[in-house]
Amino acid sequence: MICESICIMKKLVLIAFSAVALLLGACSTHVLVDSADYPMAEYDDMTGNFEGKLKTNINTAFKATNLALEKDLQYFRVGQIPGDNSWRIFARTVLDYEIVVNLRQEKSGDVSVVISFGDGNLMKSQQIFNAIAKNVRALERQ
């Protein structure tokens, strides 16, 4: 009787640890993006944040983001908040999903781009990032 209880407890503990490991391992997804210098971005399933890097400066990234949101993707840009070597840009979709794009100039000279689309949407976030990267390349050719 006691041996059966111990065996059941061991199985329950093993199942619990397996479930926790599965949840922790499934938190982030690596995604290919249209950035020659940093072709791999990351999407966090828990927070719904998409994060990638671009080899540019903060001013070019800011202009490229505005072009991507308004012109390329037809979203409604509703505001921005400047920071120390950073920008937070807000937009809305037709169905009123909130889009937040955080740009931060890193010490390495690259720009970190974090995109939040509603409660999380990997495909839409990837589209926004790729549109920003395309506009960065176009702006740097001018």
Contact in structure between 29 and 45 (CB atoms under 8 Å) = yes
Indicate the fold that domain 28-141 takes in CATH.
Double Stranded RNA Binding Domain (3.30.160)
What pLDDT sits at residue 21? 54
Residue 134: which H helix or E strand, with range? helix 122-141
* Per-residue pLDDT in tens (0 to 9) along the chain, 142 residues: 666 777 677 777 767 666 555 555 558 888 889 888 899 999 998 899 999 999 999 999 999 999 999 999 999 999 999 999 999 999 999 999 999 999 999 999 999 999 999 989 999 999 999 999 999 999 999 8
Exposure string (b/e) for 71-95, b if CB count within 10 Å is 16 or more? ebbebebeeeeeeeeebebbbebee
What pLDDT sits at residue 19? 58
